[in-house]
A and B are shown apart, each in its own frame.
Chain A
């Protein structure tokens, strides 16, 4: 279970005129995700979805609030007083709070993440990328190669093992990122706009693959997307973020039985509701009822 309690993230930035400015990317967002759920986060561009996801993954410390995964605190929030801040700095002066330790590989939580721009390693071949995460998971050397083959086959990348990511298409890179995430057999997969760079037909295929995989393995999936239809088709619930500062505007359960049809009337109705929320947030007009 993922529990995010009143997460706030503030970035202090210096703008081009050397004037300090601040951005509140996420403001007091609370969210509980049960095991095995498929949740989508939607919202306008730049409203803090990626930031929120990285906080869930423990890659950024929230300014305020805590994330618990299965009851375990992910990262302590940044201290608020100067005294506490000094103590925090002293404590983490050598290793940053998000480090996993000095020598031994060891994931802190059972999470895999697929980044908005995939972040597969360009200096490793497709196969080496997957072998690397298997190594981090502690799979004995002899078993890695066959396992890697299996995950690559799952995403349909067999035959491209020896290519470098720069030689792949956007969609193939995407699938490599997916294979890499699956290879660690995580309980939770966080995905940041995973299907943004592929054409509509491939996207539908990948969505169906993902859906099957989710139903077969019972993993928790949290996905950020801009594609409302994708969110509606896949998820158990859709979390709508408001524009900056990103707060959780609504959490809409999608109670349409599976298997779903992409063009079903229920989904279309939900879609209209979400769009009404968007419209209201953008223009401040109250078209939104219920």
Chain B
């Protein structure tokens, strides 16, 4: 019945139940199927034949060029050295703890940003009166590059988790705010009019018209927010902590452990990739109606 042809643009596949029986799966069954769908969607684009023809030669070059002495081995550690270093970090360097610590910071900073920026964006997009009061403030503050906030944040909040959380929050806040605002403001007036004739109050309009209409740009804002939050994570972890992937990175720099630096970079990249894949998946789930077009 709901056999929607789901082929979202980004080239990832979301397999959807086709028979009513499958569709009504509950509990673990459902969780399992969602996870499977997500995994095929996320990794599907990595293990296509087309991409492998690019990726495998690149990885081979990475391994061979330093080994053959084409590039200095001390500056460009080969793939296997990096992998060995990663394994070493897992066994003796508490890599898992570093990752968990960074993820926690990201999660708190991002959640705070979302909790504040989303409602604010909706309010400013919905009501011109509120917009005129609030928008100029954010338009003045937003152009300040988030890293420029670091010194004053350290002085005001001290070095520690509060300053780290705030910096990550700051990176994610403006992209989510402005994308939400724009998406809500651009809501097609015809939809508003058609809900109004039937008596929709402003609250109902926000709930049932503005927000569903803006969902796509909200998700877009969160994606940009994630990227910015990662930037701020690396910067924030340079100060006042012993644990975290960003911390590990700056530490490796001090000890000139290039292979460790590469491991950290790979982990940060993977983190960002993974979070963005989650957003893509949510987007495909939430904005099912767009897909059929």
Contacts and interface: CB of A to CB of B under 8 A. Distances in A.
Interface of A: 54, 57-59, 93-95, 98-108, 111-113, 115, 117, 119-124, 132-133, 136-137, 162, 164-167, 180, 184
B200 A136 contact: yes
A106 B191 contact: no
A100 B196 contact: yes
Nearest to B1: A162
Interface stretch (B109-117, B172-180, B204-212, B253-261): B204-212
Given A99-B202, A113-B197, A115-B190, A166 B289 contact: yes
Contacts of B198: 107, 112, 133, 136-137, 180, 184
Given A98-B196, A112-B197, A166 B293 contact: yes
Interface string B38-62: 0000000000000000000000000
Contacts of B191: 119, 121
Residue of A123, A166, A180 with most chain B CB atoms under a 10 A cut-off: A123
18 contacts: A58-B197, A94-B129, A99-B201, A99-B202, A100-B202, A101-B202, A115-B194, A117-B190, A119-B193, A123-B289, A132-B195, A133-B198, A136-B199, A162-B2, A164-B288, A166-B290, A180-B198, A184-B199
Contacts of B202: 95, 99-103
Contacts of A119: 188, 190-191, 193-194
Contacts of B28: none
Contacts of A57: 197
A133 B204 CA distance: 11
Contacts of A164: 4, 288-289, 292
Contacts of B212: 121, 123-124
B215 to A, nearest CB: 8
Interface residues of B, number: 31
Contact of B196 (A93, A99, A104): A99
A149 B204 CA distance: 23
Residue of B193, B197, B213, B288 with most chain A CB atoms under a 10 A cut-off: B197
B270 interface: no
B241 interface: no
Contact of A102 (B2, B194, B201, B289): B201
B196 A59 contact: yes
Residue of B129, B202, B213, B290 with most chain A CB atoms under a 10 A cut-off: B202
A113 B196 CA distance: 10
A123 B287 contact: yes
Interface in B203-230: 203-204, 208-209, 212-213, 215
Given A115-B190, A119-B193, A162-B2, A105 B289 contact: no
Q: Which 5 A-B pairs have the closest CB atoms?
A: A107-B199, A119-B194, A123-B212, A164-B289, A166-B292
B127 interface: yes
A100 B199 contact: yes
Interface in B118-158: 127, 129
Contact of B292 (A59, A121, A167): A167
Contacts of B200: 100, 105, 136
A59 B193 contact: yes
Contacts of B293: 166
A123 B283 CA distance: 13
Given A117-B190, A137-B199, 13 more contacts: A95-B202, A100-B196, A102-B202, A105-B204, A107-B197, A107-B199, A115-B193, A119-B193, A122-B290, A123-B212, A123-B213, A136-B199, A164-B289
Given A93-B129, A119-B190, A103 B289 contact: no
Contacts of B201: 99-106
B284 to A, nearest CB: 14
A84 B292 CA distance: 49
A225 B1 CA distance: 35
Nearest to A180: B198
B3 to A, nearest CB: 10
Residue of A105, A107, A113, A137 with most chain B CB atoms under a 10 A cut-off: A105
A121 B208 CA distance: 9
Contacts of A162: 1-2
Contacts of A93: 129
Nearest to B286: A123
